[in-house]
Amino acid sequence: MAREREGIIFSYIDSPEGGGDEHGDVDSLEFTDEGCNVEEQIIQKLLLEKLNKVLKSFPASDRDFLLHSFGSDFGYLAAYAREHGMTKMQVTRKKEKLLDELREKFFEKECRTEKNPPGIDRTDR
């Protein structure tokens, strides 16, 4: 079966022997996927939302450049260099600079809140 091939294991919340509801409707049974880690999915979604928020803080041209750098064909950077009269090295440096800025903004609040959240003075301890 496809479930077995993909490693999906279902557990029944309701008893499968009961045959569903009082009318024998098995569609009323609730299933859980034991291979699914809900916490990981939530963390992944939160990180993607944060990444999207950080990307939106970039100018549209820089945001489009980054997204196309990773989502397009192999030759995108070379084509970008030709279209904008830049060398491949200049385009590569631009990409690296934007990625550094992206990383800095993405991890900025986490570092600040771990050390000293705003409004909390830790000097008196």
Residue-by-residue DSSP string for 70-84 = HHS-TTHHHHHHHHT
SS3 12: strand
| Predicted structure pTM score | 0.57
38-56 vs 60-71: helix crossing angle, rounded to 10: 130
pLDDT in tens, 52-85: 999 999 999 999 999 899 887 778 999 999 999 9
Higher model confidence: residue 46 or residue 119?
46
In the predicted model, is pLDDT for residue 28 greater than 70?
A: no
pLDDT at 114: 47
Instruction: Name the residue type at position 31.
Output: F
Hey, what domains does the chain have and what are their CATH numbers? 2-33 (no CATH), 42-115 (1.10.10)
Across 9-14, average pLDDT:
51
pLDDT in tens, 82-116: 999 999 999 999 999 999 999 999 998 655 544 54
Instruction: Name the residue type at position 75.
Output: G
pLDDT at 120: 47
Give 33's strand partners.
Answer: 10
Using alpha carbons only, what angle is made at residue 77 by residues 82 and 103, rounded to the nearest 5 degrees? 135
For the chain, give the mean pLDDT: 76
Distance from C-alpha of 15 to C-alpha of 88, rounded to nearest angstrom: 62
